[in-house]
């Protein structure tokens, strides 16, 4: 991990200036509450989209940021991930979202984990 530590040190001032952290952990991940969603099977949902745009992270290797939501799939339901993907990307889901959702700029709908 020496290259990683070198990278952190090269960017130490930028990392220390982040408002979300105190200076004692300047190298830390800025959103630790989200770490439980990495390394597991999950559906990835685009935050703003014209239509439902969901994909699967079967390996648990995909990291995501703002406006991409990771929806963890419990182990007992992981055999249904492709079914869920097909359902969430279907025309019927898009129809439903258009009936209950709010249109944002240029016809985009907000998909979020509520």
Q: Which helix (H) or strand (E) covers residue 82, if one does?
A: helix 81-88
Question: What's the pLDDT at 95?
Answer: 94
Q: Give the model's confidence band at 114: pLDDT under 50 very low, under 70 low, under 90 confident, else very high.
A: low
Instruction: Give mean pLDDT, residues 3-12.
Output: 88
Q: Please name the residues in contact with 82: beta carbons below 8 A apart, sequence gap of 6 or more.
A: 56
Q: Find residue 68's DSSP bridge partners.
A: 46
pLDDT per position as a tens digit, 9-67: 898 888 777 766 665 676 676 665 566 667 888 999 888 999 999 999 998 888 777 78
Q: Per-residue pLDDT tens for 92-104? A: 999 998 898 888 8
């Amino acid at each position: 991990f020496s290259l990683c530590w070198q990278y952190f040190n090269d960017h130490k001032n930028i990392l220390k200036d982040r408002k979300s952290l105190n200076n004692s952990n300047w190298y830390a991940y800025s959103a630790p509450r989200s770490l439980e969603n990495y390394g597991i099977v999950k559906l990835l949902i685009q935050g703003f989209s014209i239509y439902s745009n969901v994909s699967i992270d079967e390996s648990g290797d995909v990291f995501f940021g703002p406006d991409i939501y990771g929806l963890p799939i419990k182990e007992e339901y992981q055999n249904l991930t492709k079914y869920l993907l097909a359902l969430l990307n279907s025309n019927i889901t898009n129809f439903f979202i258009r009936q209950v959702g709010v249109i944002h700029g240029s016809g985009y709908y907000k998909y979020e984990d509520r």
